[in-house]
């Protein structure tokens, strides 16, 4: 459950970043990913492997899942839910990323879950909108 709370806590940051240019959003996500790899790696040394109180990786995952999503709550809720389901279920290749050492594994499994959630969300948005432009 801490992962879900960490993901919820990331929503205000996502809202702020949505106001950046696409390149600004990518840069912010890249910097946060790099910081998460370092910070979660250090946190594991003190708390143990992928400890539930480490939630910075959830922030990275949510930012990937909701990148350029319209500011409409049905899409935000769908992206949030898809990310959480993928992060919890850890289908391939997410589980493989989790096996990477240190903060790499902690962060990249969430980043990949976020990217996969964003891809699924894009398909859902296209289907719901009738596949239009």
Q: What is the Cα–Cα distance from 69 to 121, expressed in whole angstroms? A: 9
| Residue closest to 42 by CA, chosen among 101, 102, 98, 99 | 102
Query: Taking residues 69-94, what's their average pLDDT?
Result: 95
Residues 101-133 pLDDT 10s: 999 999 999 999 999 999 999 999 999 988 755
SS3 92: coil
Check if the beta carbon of residue 32 is closer than 8 Å to that of residue 25: no
pTM: 0.92
Q: Report whether 93 contacts 112 (CB < 8 A).
A: yes
């Amino acid at each position: 459950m801490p992962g879900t709370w960490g993901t919820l806590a990331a929503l205000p940051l996502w809202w702020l970043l949505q106001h950046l240019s696409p390149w600004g959003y990518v840069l912010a996500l890249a910097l946060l990913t790099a910081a998460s790899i370092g910070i979660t790696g250090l946190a594991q040394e003190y708390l143990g492997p992928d400890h539930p109180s480490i939630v910075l990786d959830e922030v990275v995952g949510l930012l990937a899942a909701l990148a350029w999503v319209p500011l409409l709550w049905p899409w935000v809720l769908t992206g949030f839910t898809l990310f959480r389901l993928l992060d919890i279920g850890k289908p391939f290749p997410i589980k493989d990323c989790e096996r990477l050492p240190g903060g790499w594994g902690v962060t990249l499994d969430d980043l990949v879950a976020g990217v996969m959630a964003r891809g699924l969300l894009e398909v859902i948005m296209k289907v719901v909108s009738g596949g239009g432009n």
